[in-house]
Structure 1
Amino acid sequence: MKPADDAAQQALDAVRDSLRDLIDDADTPSSVREALQAEYSDLQTLWQKLEGNELHVAVFGRVSVGKSSLLNALLARNVFATGPLHGVTQRADTDQWTRLGDSAVRVFDTPGIDEIDGQGRERLAAQVARRADLVLFVCDADLTQLEYAALAQLAATHRPLLLILNKADRYHQAERARLLDRLRERTATLLQPEHVLSAAADPRPETVVRIDANGEETESTRPRAPDVAEVAARVSEILEREGLLLSALNAGLYASEVSDTVAARVADIRSTAAQRVIRGYCLGKGLAVAINPVPLTDLAAAAALDVSLVFHLGRIYGLPVTRHEAGRLVGVISLQLAALMGAVWAVHAASSLLKTLSAGLSVTVTALAQGSVAWYATYVIGQVATRYFVNGRSWGPGGPKRAVNDVLSLVDRESILAEARQALTERLRRQRQ
């Protein structure tokens, strides 16, 4: 094996292993797997492709441009259905074409991009494209607007792409040359000129005129052999030169896309769970502070609830902390909040002091004010702790002060306090009934 081939094989092996790890990741919630069932199915297919050391070539194009005929001509046998009816190919079909070294080359036929029920079939075509190492886009004339848009979409996937002018036998040599030049000019920003080729996968029969001894003419027809040698040679050249790397790159790119999608879904699930937990602790702390009849001890109870909140958030984000660690984290956040929000904390302390001076008789007067401030404090602590866990138990470059300040800048204090007062009023009214 050449050094380049050895490096390509190592890359392919690494991608295959990463695919397996992504598929088998036990930390991925079942709800995410269910939501991304199609993507996980594609990952499994890609893994099997790499495990079987296969290279995939897919064809695309409008109906009746000769996609199936082109594949049949390349395979030198009639495998894929062809016919005069619009849209003969109803689903993606596949068959093995040849072998290049240790790799089996499979070809994929796909439905036309302009067929009835096109959305579903185009999604199927896109799915095959994700698995393809080389794409053959087949046309039979100058590109329509639909064809050009589809070609541009495929080119954006950065897979090797060949544009094949099929049915070239229908054009005179000069016409064919002009049409190829036109196609190369229109697609100059999408693919290389040498990747625009011509073929005659199913050429029209040749007309033969025979003149007998009496000078009478007799016409007959005889079939002509397909002309796909240039296409076959270019496909083999690309796959032999870049096949293994293309396979690894394509699988790696798709795995990265799925991994990012999984991470985003997991992040959404965790964020939703975290916000639900934060709101629950806000209500619990607000009520505890508002109705606690024992002066000042409500502050200690409030701190204990904040510690429990941080402990719970760590578990949601898969970064569990001990209660001691959670307590230290709350302490750090509280110190920064005290520095940045002295006025709010003064209200919190004053309302507690008011309870002390009145021996608890002013609870009704101060309950909503103190409970709302406690709610707000827990909300901010929860948001800052969430940010800390999202960053992998890190404050980031600005440290805890920057993290707390950033959260405060994003939180609408008045709306949170209004929400707290409304929720606490409702709960206190229920308790009095």
Structure 2
Amino acid sequence: MTPPLAQAETVLHSCWDHWQSLARRQDVQPELRALSALRKRLTARLFAIAVFGLVNRGKSAVLNALIGEARLEVGPLNGVTQRPQSLLWQPDPEIPWRVRLVDTPGLNEVEGAAREQLAWDVARSADLILFVIATDLTQLEYQALLELRTLHKPILLVLNKCDLYSEAELQAIRAQISRHLGWVSPQEILTVAACPKPLKVRTHWPDGRITLEWERPAPQIETLRGRIVEILQTEAGSLLALNVLRRLDWVQAQILEKQWQHHARFVEQWGKVVALGKGIAVGLAPLGWDLLLAPLLDGLWLLGLGVRLHLPWEALWKALVSFREGLGRPLLLNGALLLCAEGMSSWLWGDWGNGLLPGLVAGASLYRLGSLAPQALSRFAAQAFGLGASLHALLGREKPATRDGAPPLPSSLA
């Protein structure tokens, strides 16, 4: 079985090669840059971990404790982190991964909507999310966790500032959080003290003096560090491949949307020209030949769209033969309508060769396909190059939770 990372690299390289024909188009430059960034991530084996949560929960302190250096600014005031900041971290020399830790602004900052959006953008691109809390869940934290679950990414729930509580209090908090969430057991909540409160230390000096000084204990971060190392050793390849493919799916959808917008005039005119030509050809053709010409002209219309929009051939073929989500059913319906029109024409005029009604039906039915084509072709084009099959293999049959399917807010948080 092909490893997940190898699958992701194959799919990504195929997508990259295909869309390079649009390199001169200015409107798709952001998407092409995104493809390039995804290729670099796979090549560098760069695993992204984003820390997430509300303000004043110690997110920056948690990252400082992980790397063992005070690299990120921390403070007692809300909103110290104004924009996403990233650090490279090597948790273990034997782990073949480059780990990027990303600090994000708090979600509940006053007048911080732009910074909140930045935090969500980082969460969508991360391979692993650390959600930092400091006590029992608030309503905002509960809602944020529900939103994060829709991203279909692993989330580690980190209870910071554990040094402020006794062991019995910590057990009670973990149990309460587990009751609120339902999908997290108390044992899965990782307790840390990224920046423990200072302790007063009595020092006896040789000259008899006794002094009292405040000293800050070492961070209690080993539980979290150990869990991250375990994930990097066992799941990092699959998580990185899945995240890259999901981002690729989104990027391709953006490219395809711009393709339809860029060629909208051609698509409309091409549909009218082929529909008119089909109507005339079917109307003038002898009996039997019209039934042969109709699907050939449908195929010509589809081929013209594919060439002009630079759609993958695999997508055109699957859209053509798929009856469930593609154009197979509408095309079959067009054939049935044409047969009915032939019979109706014979019954009304007594002449099976009268092609006026069949020609009108043939042209109108093809023109109607123009409204169905963008959605169907875009769906199959986005899944081309093996992207759909690879995503399905990684995700299995599990579907991400949606906001509508989220459990109701517990009464204690309402």
Q: What secondary structure sits across from 1:341 in the alignment?
A: helix
Give the Cα–Cα distance (whole angstroms) in 2 for the partners of residues 77 and 251 of structure 1. Answer: 30
Give the Cα–Cα distance (whole angstroms) in 2 for the partners of residues 185 and 38 of structure 1. Answer: 43
Could you say if the C-alpha distance between residues 345 and 166 of structure 1 is closer, same or farther in structure 2, counting changes exceeding 3 Å?
Answer: same
Aligned to 1:18: 11
| Alignment RMSD | 4.6
Could you say if the C-alpha distance between residues 89 and 177 of structure 1 is closer, same or farther in structure 2, counting changes exceeding 3 Å?
Answer: same
Instruction: Check whether the contact 1:180–1:197 (CA below 8 A) recurs between aligned residues.
Output: no
Give the Cα–Cα distance (whole angstroms) in 1 for the partners of residues 179 and 335 of structure 2. Answer: 66
> Is 2:141 the counterpart of 1:147?
yes
Q: For residues 215-364 of structure 1, what are the structure 2 equivalents within 5 Å?
A: 219-260=212-253, 262-263=255-256, 266=259, 273-280=266-273, 299=284, 311-318=300-307, 337-342=337-342, 345=345
Give the Cα–Cα distance (whole angstroms) in 2 for the partners of residues 348 and 374 of structure 1. Answer: 15
Instruction: Check whether the contact 1:277–1:309 (CA below 8 A) recurs between aligned residues.
Output: no
TM-score (norm 2): 0.67
The equivalent position to 2:125 in structure 1, one of 120, 131, 135, is: 131
Instruction: Check whether the contact 1:204–1:224 (CA below 8 A) recurs between aligned residues.
Output: yes
Aligned to 1:88: 80
Instruction: Check whether the contact 1:200–1:227 (CA below 8 A) recurs between aligned residues.
Output: yes
Superposition deviation, residue 205 in structure 1: 0.8
> Is 2:43 the counterpart of 1:58?
no
Q: What secondary structure sits across from 1:251 in the alignment?
A: helix
Instruction: Check whether the contact 1:197–1:231 (CA below 8 A) recurs between aligned residues.
Output: yes
Q: What secondary structure sits across from 2:200 in the alignment?
A: strand
Q: What secondary structure sits across from 2:235 in the alignment?
A: helix
Could you say if the C-alpha distance between residues 114 and 44 of structure 1 is closer, same or farther in structure 2, counting changes exceeding 3 Å?
Answer: farther
Could you say if the C-alpha distance between residues 135 and 317 of structure 1 is closer, same or farther in structure 2, counting changes exceeding 3 Å?
Answer: same
**Structure 2 gap segments, 5+ residues each:** 308-312, 317-331, 379-414
The equivalent position to 1:169 in structure 2, one of 148, 160, 163, is: 163
Q: What secondary structure sits across from 1:25 in the alignment?
A: helix
TM-score (norm 1): 0.65
Aligned to 2:409: none
Instruction: Check whether the contact 1:211–1:218 (CA below 8 A) recurs between aligned residues.
Output: yes
Aligned to 1:76: 68
Superposition deviation, residue 350 in structure 1: 9.6
Could you say if the C-alpha distance between residues 224 and 49 of structure 1 is closer, same or farther in structure 2, counting changes exceeding 3 Å?
Answer: same
Give the Cα–Cα distance (whole angstroms) in 1 for the partners of residues 34 and 263 of structure 2. Answer: 25
Give the Cα–Cα distance (whole angstroms) in 1 for the partners of residues 237 and 224 of structure 2. Answer: 20
Greater gyration radius: 1
Could you say if the C-alpha distance between residues 160 and 194 of structure 1 is closer, same or farther in structure 2, counting changes exceeding 3 Å?
Answer: farther
Give the Cα–Cα distance (whole angstroms) in 2 for the partners of residues 333 and 225 of structure 1. Answer: 72
Aligned to 2:173: 179
Give the Cα–Cα distance (whole angstroms) in 2 for the partners of residues 235 and 335 of structure 1. Answer: 58
Could you say if the C-alpha distance between residues 271 and 346 of structure 1 is closer, same or farther in structure 2, counting changes exceeding 3 Å?
Answer: farther
Pick 1 or 2: higher relative contact order, CA cutoff 8 A, min separation 6.
Answer: 2
Show CA shifts across 1:34-59 (max 9, x none). 36x65554443232111001222110
Q: What secondary structure sits across from 1:245 in the alignment?
A: helix
Q: More helix per residue: 1 or 2?
A: 1
> Is 2:23 the counterpart of 1:34?
no
Q: What secondary structure sits across from 2:69 in the alignment?
A: coil
Give the Cα–Cα distance (whole angstroms) in 2 for the partners of residues 233 and 246 of structure 1. Answer: 18
Q: What secondary structure sits across from 1:26 in the alignment?
A: helix
Could you say if the C-alpha distance between residues 334 and 64 of structure 1 is closer, same or farther in structure 2, counting changes exceeding 3 Å?
Answer: closer
Instruction: Check whether the contact 1:59–1:137 (CA below 8 A) recurs between aligned residues.
Output: yes
Give the Cα–Cα distance (whole angstroms) in 2 for the partners of residues 66 and 138 of structure 1. Answer: 7
Give the Cα–Cα distance (whole angstroms) in 1 for the partners of residues 26 and 186 of structure 2. Answer: 43
Q: What secondary structure sits across from 2:19 in the alignment?
A: coil
Could you say if the C-alpha distance between residues 155 and 338 of structure 1 is closer, same or farther in structure 2, counting changes exceeding 3 Å?
Answer: closer
Matched letter for residue 168 of structure 1: C
Aligned to 1:47: 39
The equivalent position to 1:380 in structure 2, one of 359, 362, 365, is: 365
Superposition deviation, residue 73 in structure 1: 0.8
